[in-house]
Structure 1
């Protein structure tokens, strides 16, 4: 049976951020921690070894695959900062047009630094992601 790699852990978020090598990326991680905490109202939790997640939801696909994931999150990786928002939401795509300098993968949005983006759009992306996931996967 498939085992999820990214699960909520008891690891300390601050300890994780303190291990970020780049002083600028560490500073951005603390700023993101404040923004995500303020907007979501959730306490930050580590998901797997490197994702800082906020809130959670339970998903179940038509294939039968199911699991839990953070509603939103981020990870200050070596190359870029990964931001995790819901996928499949047309409003996300619209907001990203106003976001600033970034690249997008299927599940992640990548930024180099907070100075490259519009923080108000970041807050809107966080809110929209939570709304979309709560509507898509209502709590039973």
Structure 2
């Protein structure tokens, strides 16, 4: 089984957020970090070179032909140039059902993209973070 490429690091989350581009992403990144800390009670960890994650869970892929497993953050974000990428918000059915109430966003395969943090409902965002935080380890049978 191959190791996932994105792993927790010892790199400074603060330095990573301070270096975000464009300049508004620095402020949005720090604000999102505060929100996620408040809702999870967890300290952030930089996963790989560009993902700020909170907590982790053990996953097992559903593929019967190429089983993979590993650790992944319960909830995470990356302050990318074009948008904030938010991870974990739509993974659980309760989060997926609530997502349409978030405000202005688009979706990727495993994440939600927000062009400006001010365009989303912070109360809904906080609820989505709490839902993602409730995720438990995958408990699929071996085989």
**Aligned counterparts of 2:22 and 2:47: Cα–Cα separation in 1:** 21
**Aligned counterparts of 2:123 and 2:35: Cα–Cα separation in 1:** 10
Q: What TM-score does the superposition give when structure 1 sets the normalisation length? A: 0.90
Q: CA RMSD in A?
A: 1.5
**Aligned counterparts of 1:86 and 1:113: Cα–Cα separation in 2:** 17
The residue that corresponds to 1:114 in the other structure is: 117
The residue that corresponds to 2:32 in the other structure is: 32
Matched, 1:128 2:131: yes
* Secondary structure, aligned partner of 2:16: helix
Q: What TM-score does the superposition give when structure 2 sets the normalisation length? A: 0.88
Contact 2:90 2:96 in 1 (8 A): no
**Aligned counterparts of 2:86 and 2:19: Cα–Cα separation in 1:** 19
Gaps of 5+ in 2: none
Matched ranges for 1:59-138 at <5 A? 59-62=59-62, 63=64, 64-85=67-88, 87-131=90-134, 133-134=135-136, 137=138
Number of aligned positions between the proteins = 136
Runs (4+) of structure 1 moved beyond 3 Å?
none
**Aligned counterparts of 1:70 and 1:99: Cα–Cα separation in 2:** 21
Structure 1 residue 110, shift from structure 2 partner:
0.2
* CA displacement 1:70-113 (0-9 Å, x = unmatched): 00010001111100015542222221111000001121000011
**Aligned counterparts of 1:121 and 1:127: Cα–Cα separation in 2:** 10
**Aligned counterparts of 1:122 and 1:86: Cα–Cα separation in 2:** 8
**Aligned counterparts of 1:103 and 1:76: Cα–Cα separation in 2:** 15
